[in-house]
Amino acid sequence: MVVRTPPMGWNTWNTFGLQINEQLILDSARVLISSGLRDAGYEYIVMDDGWSLPQRDENGRLVPDPQKFPRGIAALADDLHAMGLKLGIYSCAGLLTCGGYPGSNSYEFVDAETFASWKIDYLKYDYCYKPQHERGDQLYQRMGMALANSGRDILLSACSWGADETHTWIKTTGAGCWRSTCDIVDTWESICRLAKQQKELQKYNGLGCFNDMDMLVVGMNGNGNVGLSGCTETQYKTHFALWAFLGSTLMIGCDIRSMSEETARILKNPGLIAINQDPCYRQPFSIGGSFNYAHGDQEDSFVWAKLLENGDIAIGMFNLSDSPRNLYFTLNDLSLPRFCGRKLELTDVWTGEVCETVDHRHCVWVDACDCRVYRAKLVKA
């Protein structure tokens, strides 16, 4: 299967860890619909680690934990499909999953067949307990082959955390997305660390195999499995804007059953989702910068542009530092010198309003941990 835009959905791990069950998934699926998240593009419900029994059955097959999934997985998949959603499941290229359940190592073809028989749509495939003598590329290739021969379109979502130079071999495996970061936690430091790592990895992101910067922590507010200190609303907005702008998979990680209106507003932002899901996926490039040389570190603010399918340009100005920064870009940075006879009309993605026309330079104070994201239209100067 060819994956044309970054997969979007909700995953159980960030909030619920190993404590998952059918009721939780069905309730969350209903909220995905009633809150408008499904219609905004979030279509996968991914059951992460913790869904199976600790042992395979006598035929070597994985068995859903009957306490957690009394009707089995196939019935759940049918329900979700009837709701217009898709079901993701989790396994691991090693001997055990990270949570200690059976991994798919040496069982790739059996498991792919099982997943297909349950009508699974997406497999998150982890990297714990990998035998040292085995190669990551070969393990992911084998699962890629197993899924491709399973008789069902199942998106392979590789989760080897960027280890063993994943970027150099992941596109040989059939994965539709690959975890380009280590695990996220619900702190601003974690968000910044992952975002900065992505600068170098953008060149590997693209149609068919998207970078996965890990699940979103937007709206976790310090609760749940990876909830630590939590973040401010501004930090969550910037986190979402970074993931969306950089073409990451967008997997919600908070408990959507109790999310606030502000959380829903961030997650459903149509302008950012449109940039994330742009059919061309062109890579972002660096423009402009920060006037705050006195602060020294230029590493913690970025200004990026990205060409979109309809001719517009997405422009993201991100300030990851803890003080306001004066960020700018010029039309020259965008290869639009004056003789081109074009200027830019900026629409702010947060307000949806046209906010400025730029014919030379755009310069703006961006608060600590904040961002500006525009969709810029080229108009006659």
Active site residues: 126, 183
Is 186 a binding residue for ligand GLA by CB under 6 A? The answer is no
Rule CB under 6 A: say whether 195 interacts with ligand GLA.
no
Residue count of the chain: 381
Task: Find the part of the chain contacting ligand GLA (CB under 6 A) among 1-9, 92-100, 149-157, 345-353.
Answer: 92-100
Q: Is 194 in the site for ligand GLA (CB under 6 A)?
A: no
CB of 100 to ligand GLA, least distance (A): 8
Q: From 66, 69, 106, select the one nearest 87 (Cα to Cα).
A: 69
AA identity, residue 78: D
Site string for ligand GLA, 134-173 (x = CB under 6 A): -------------------------x-x------------
How far apart CA 187 and CA 158 sit, in angstroms, is 24
Q: Is 183 in the site for ligand GLA (CB under 6 A)?
A: yes
User: If 0-12 CB within 10 Å is exposed, 13-18 middle and 19+ buried, where does residue 284 land?
Assistant: buried
Q: Are strands 354-358 and 361-366 parallel, antiparallel or unpaired?
A: unpaired
Should residue 48 be labelled a site residue for ligand GLA when binding is judged by CB under 6 A? yes
Tokens found for residue 125: 């495939």
**Closest approach of Cβ 183 to ligand GLA, in Å?**
5
Smallest gap from residue 253 Cβ to ligand GLA (A): 9
Question: How many residues make contact with ligand GLA (CB under 6 A)?
Answer: 10
Give the position of tokens 């150099």.
168
User: Whole-angstrom Cα distance, residue 139 to residue 35?
Assistant: 38
Backbone angles phi, psi at 252, to 5 degrees: -70, 145
Type of residue at 104 = S
Q: For residues 163 and 354, which CB has a smaller minimum distance to ligand GLA in the complex?
A: 163
Q: In terms of C-beta density within 10 A (0-12 exposed, 13-18 middle, 19 or more buried), how is residue 380 classed? A: exposed
H helix intervals, the chain: 13-16, 22-34, 37-40, 72-82, 108-117, 136-148, 166-169, 188-201, 233-245, 261-267, 270-276
Shortest Å, Cβ 124 to ligand GLA: 6
> Which residue of this chain has its Cβ atom nearest to ligand GLA in the complex?
98
227 binds ligand GLA (CB under 6 A): no
> SS3 for 55?
coil
One of 6, 64, 88, 99 touching ligand GLA (CB under 6 A): 99
Residue 95: CB minimum distance to ligand GLA, A: 14
- Residue 254 phi/psi, 5-degree rounding, is -85, 175
Question: Which range touches ligand GLA (CB under 6 A), out of 39-47, 91-99, 107-115, 196-204?
Answer: 91-99
How far the first Cα of the chain sits from its last, in Å, is 44
Q: 140 or 161: whose CB is closer to ligand GLA?
A: 161
Looking up tokens 């040496």 gives 106
Q: Using CB under 6 A, which of 111, 126, 212, 312 touches ligand GLA?
A: 126
| DSSP helix/strand/coil, 342 | strand
- 13 lines the binding site for ligand GLA (CB under 6 A): yes
Under the criterion CB under 6 A, does residue 98 sit at the interface with ligand GLA?
yes
Among 43, 49, 111, 186, binds ligand GLA (CB under 6 A): 49
Applying CB under 6 A, the residues found at the interface with ligand GLA are 13, 48-49, 97-99, 126, 159, 161, 183
